[in-house]
Amino acid sequence: MENLWISATYDWGVTVRVDKPSDLREPVLAWGASNLRDLPWRRTRDPWTILVSETMLQQTQVARVVARLAEFLDQFPDASACAAVSAGDVVTAWAGLGYNRRPLMLHRAATQIVAVHAGEVPSDFEALLALPGVGPYTARAVRAFAFELSAAVVDTNIGRVYARVQGSKLTAREVQAFADEASSDDQPWLWNQSVMELGALICTKQAPSCGACPIREICAWAGEGDDPAQGSAAVSVSQARFEGSDRQLRGRLVDVLRSAPVPLSKLAATMKTDPTRAEKILAGLQRDGLVVTTNDHARLP
């Protein structure tokens, strides 16, 4: 296949080799219109639901989020309900979803939404970025999926698709530039859902189904040679070993604290580690705001 490369220079000085990213729109939109999975966050445009689901989906399997989202929203149907309880209550409701700083930040975001935005999740990009725990990906996702406003979302699935289509490793700025160029401004919800789904179902990390891909003919990689997605920005990498890690011990303590405070004298036994390491982990949890100590006990905030 002949490569008709076009060099596009963006305002911030990044030059990206692109094979007309806008050519992706028609085949990807057509594919997405009939191939999107029926997921609960795709049945709504409620901004709070979208913010919660996007927070849950960060490094958590889709099936687990599907199983827990409705239960969480029953307890916290809007930002006001979330802000009205303690951070510890939100962390407790998050049990089994991992990464306990996420519910802590969601509670802080809810508190700010109530204080600054009268309880309504904002649609403005900068206002979304100003919320605790909300970065560029989540801000764009809320804009596209809740408000159907123009936004070029880049998650690990989308980053993988774009690196392979481009045929080269992309920096963070390059992959966002490619996304901006490819994005469909008149169908932002369907576009972002479709290219994300393409990465999740077809252009997978392992054994991609290139033969079933709607953009195979305009993909520079198409499953041949070294995978350009490896080492490209926005593409997930293998995590450090969990078993025996500080992450495991932090999670172990928070899980116990969901039920009741723990005497400081029993921290090491609770975490199943030595006292020195237990004190270090407790200090980290305190810095993060996940644990407080009162009356010689550790508890959730």
The per-residue DSSP string of the chain comes to -----EEEE-TTS-EEEES-GGGGHHHHHHHHHHH----GGGS---HHHHHHHHHHHTTS-HHHHHHHHHHHHHH--SHHHHHTS-HHHHHHHTTTS--THHHHHHHHHHHHHHHHHTT----SHHHHHTSTT--HHHHHHHHHHTS--------HHHHHHHHHHHTS---HHHHHHHHHHH--TTSHHHHHHHHHHHHHHTS-SSS--GGG-TTGGG-S-TT-SS-TTTT-TTS--PPPP-TTSHHHHHHHHHHHHTTS-EEGGGHHHHHTS-HHHHHHHHHHHHHHTS-EEETTEEE--
Q: Please identify every residue annotated as catalytic.
A: 54
